[in-house]
Amino acid sequence: MAIKYVYDFTEGGRDLKDLLGGKGANLAEMTNLGLPVPPGFVITTEACKAYLVSGSEPTELAAEVTEHLVDLEKQMGKALGQADDPLLVSVRSGAKFSMPGMMDTVLNIGLNDASVEGLAKQGGNDRFAWDSYRRLVSMFGKTVLGVDGDLFEHALEDLKKSKGTTNDLDLDADDFRTLIGTFKGIVSEYAGREFPQDPREQLDLAVRAVFDSWNGDRARLYRRQERIPADLGTAVNVCSMVFGNLGMDSGTGVAFTRDPSSGDQGVYGDYLQNAQGEDVVAGIRNTLPLADLESLDKASYDQLLGIMSTLEKHYRDLCDIEFTIERGKLWMLQTRVGKRTAAAAFRIATQLVDEGLISEDEALQRVSGAQLAQLMFPRFGDISQAKKIGRGMGASPGAAVGKAVFSSATAEEWATRGESVILVRRETNPDDLGGMIAAEGILTSRGGKTSHAAVVARGMGKTCVCGAEELEVDLRARRFTAPDGSVVNEGDVISIDGTSGQVFLGQVEVAPSPVVRYFEGELAADSDELVAAVHRLLARADAVRRMKVRANSDTPEDSERARRFGAQGIGLCRTEHMFLGERRKHVERLILAEGDDERESALAALLPLQREDFIGIFEAMDGLPVTVRLIDPPLHEFLPDYTELSVKVAVAEATGTGVNPDDTALLEAVKRLHEANPMLGLRGVRLGLVIPGLFALQVRAIAEAAAELKKQGKDPQPEIMIPLVGAVQELEIVREEAEGVLEQVKAETGVDVPALIGTMIELPRAALTAGMIAEAAEFFSFGTNDLTQTTWGFSRDDVEASFFTSYLDQGIFGVSPFESLDREGVGRLVRIAVEEGRRTRPGIKIGVCGEHGGDPESVHFFDEVGLDYVSCSPFRVPVARLEAGRASAGSEGSDSR
């Protein structure tokens, strides 16, 4: 059966996003709902994928486009580009997931030197026709023919300057005729060809340009940032044009059914009279609030509000809507589930539950762990002493402090060297994406809440202030001037508040977020609407999740915080941190010990210190399990640096001041313990097998601490974890020793301390022989950091700095495997270990304690393969709780990317 590459708007629906892309599927859905949508058709993502593979369009595509174009011409009663009354179309990208401004759009296809006259006659408006034509020439030149868009922008600015204006609306038809001649000259000079006069050639080239834009630099960068798969392709939407630039009774706008910044209900959006759609998004002219449309065109306003209500109830979510009014007639150009800030996501999810539109489990799918993490970031505290120098619209919340920079390239360069920057622009465009990602926040002097800067910043969780008109931004001089005369040069520190829209000179101190204060117990759950929403959704996540959530913690203080944040135990207590500082000298004595007596003396000095460490942690986690990992790093990490020690000894010898015998002994020990690759050398279980008494000391400290607390009526639940096991024989030897120590402590104290004994799975061999290891292990905990290193053959400290950026750019990684678990490789080892471990020991407890335990996407994988718990840093515990609940609650749910 032949593949169908083109669908009419009447043929599709929102369930066909994979095939028609989000924009096309939603245009079809609105058409089926009977809403006023200009007629058109969609070229599918399958056509794009075929083009990207072969470099040419499928052979059947041209005929299918012709067939649908003819049908469209019959429906509209006019032909594409006909001289006396031309049909014009827009050509827009539309991937499955929203990628605002990242791919290409061309409006007014079908205009040429002849049809522009017909359009002027039919519209009764010369200015409108020539304005539309100049837009086509510049958009086509930039998007399709690859001409630098600044060339067209500079020509327009020069014309306005010569007319003594800064406003496009002050230009007349003759001005645009002159400008079009200039634009055509730019195309001829820089594209090496004339602007095409054949309407069908314009259409075909525009479609190809949209296909190509899928692999454009900014689209690839955005996909990496948003973790959108690279193989989806984009659809192309061909839609009959309606015109918002016919006069002051026409216009274009963007509306949200709720405030995408806060989640508040009301009338939100921007409207621009006598304009086409890109004017609103580009922020070239500052817009009117949508509410002002009521006084300009009440009939269209009322109809729009009715449609907004219909769409929100139909999609059961916040909707983002683009519309045009053509001489009092309202047309819907797009709808999608709207991007929103993290705060808005939580508020809207709970509002929709209360309105009966979605269930509590669906509400969990409308928020994410990444959004919850954003809400935990600090915000500005006391601003009474801060110097306010301007104010715009709070487009994306947060508190951002950094050095002002005035170009995307500078933002990227400075951020690479570790500096915090605020990207300052008149308005952003898709080419600024790299700088927007690098910056702590974005400040623009133009545009509104629906401008490019606002939409992209909200999607990335980046602080943004837009439309700060009172700031005079001079990009060439790399500075801006505030109304009070303050001048901010590139490199000066500024602070921006993405909630209030305020801009401050200098650094403003930040304060903890109310969500963190709630977790700390400082605020009640009903203290404000946002905290209440977070509390409610986390409570639902806790109620439905299968996996438990523990924390990685090495101190009583961190353990107490973890418990406040909802941890159900400690999944990783690293003991090596307990040997640093003043205790290092005891480790040095242990390493230098020449006989049993010296070794026993060093161990005896460490025992009470270790015991006190564990008492504090077990107390903080009373009644909950605490997994203690026995010492893991190579011993040389506890010794002085080889070079520094060598210099110290050499200087003492050269100056005759006398060499300290301890330094000489230490130097010999450092030489003896030196390894070419210490991370694969004498560490983990190997230490316990090579250095007599080391693991026994730690097990005794654990047991004595637990016994002491049990005598006080407390309920310590220690678990002893052996690191870096690769063979079951290693674990069997250490386990036998540990069980002997536990029995000794029981005999000495009269207290039974049952402690599970298990191992970390952090080597490929351990994962592949998990069935055998489970014979000696009562639990597994995946150390996914080392498992990733040893599976890939990576040294994390080296590779992330040396070539990971190149791997990401070339698409080898979609995301770093240290950030989100590599499901195909490392994930397969995890799956094998779980299956084989449980085949040997059905009740074995299995968790993960690597950094992936707090990564939202990885948490879903761990739920899928049947882990009992994840463990992460205390601060990420709420994130893991939420994601574990989302994993149990069901599907991907509504997509608000």
Q: Which residue stretches of 417-547 are H helix? A: 433-438, 452-460, 514-519, 529-544
What is the rounded CA–CA span in Å between residue 216 and residue 105? 13
Tokens of 808: 């990401």
What is the rounded CA–CA span in Å between residue 830 and residue 825? 9
Of 48, 68, 319, 452, the catalytic one is 452
Place of tokens 């090496």: 192
What is the rounded CA–CA span in Å between residue 343 and residue 117? 50
Best CA proximity match to 35, nearest among 321, 258, 267: 321
452 is catalytic: yes
If 0-12 CB within 10 Å is exposed, 13-18 middle and 19+ buried, where does residue 843 land? exposed
Cα-based angle 248, 250, 251 (whole degrees, multiple of 5):
100
What's the Cα-to-Cα distance from 174 to each of 129, 130, 165, 397, rounded to whole Å? 11, 8, 15, 44
Q: Decide the pairing of beta strands 756-761 and 399-405.
A: unpaired
Tokens of 629: 């990992």
Best CA proximity match to 620, nearest among 553, 691, 687: 553
3-state DSSP call for residue 473?
strand
Positive or negative CA dihedral for 284, 288, 293, 295? negative
What is the rounded CA–CA span in Å between residue 509 and residue 140? 47
Q: Does residue 363 contact residue 349 with C-beta atoms inside 8 Å?
A: yes
Best CA proximity match to 882, nearest among 535, 520, 529, 531: 535
Of 464, 849, 860, 872, the catalytic one is 849
Q: Identify the bridge partners of residue 321 per DSSP, sorted by sequence position.
A: 255, 335
Residue 446 amino acid letter: R
Q: 3-state SS of 330-375?
A: EEEEEEEECCCCHHHHHHHHHHHHHCCCCCHHHHHHCCCHHHHHHH
Q: Does residue 570 contact residue 553 with C-beta atoms inside 8 Å?
A: yes
3-state DSSP call for residue 446?
coil
Best CA proximity match to 107, nearest among 137, 68, 130: 137
Phi, psi of 65 (to 5 degrees): -60, -45
Can you give the C-alpha Rg of the chain in angstroms? Answer: 32
If 0-12 CB within 10 Å is exposed, 13-18 middle and 19+ buried, where does residue 544 land? middle
Burial 337-358 (b: 16+ CB within 10 A, else e): bbbbbbbbbbbbbbbbbeeeeb
What is the rounded CA–CA span in Å between residue 515 and residue 242? 46
What is the rounded CA–CA span in Å between residue 264 and residue 530? 11
Q: Does residue 203 contact residue 91 with C-beta atoms inside 8 Å?
A: yes
3-state percent breakdown (helix, strand, coil) of the chain, nearest 5? 50, 15, 35
Residue 286 amino acid letter: N
Q: Which residues contact 487 (CB under 8 A, 6 or more apart)?
A: 479, 480, 481
Tokens of 445: 């002097």
What is the rounded CA–CA span in Å between residue 638 and residue 723? 18
What is the rounded CA–CA span in Å between residue 410 and residue 419? 11
3-state DSSP call for residue 124?
coil
What is the rounded CA–CA span in Å between residue 844 and residue 308? 53
Residues identified as active-site: 452, 849
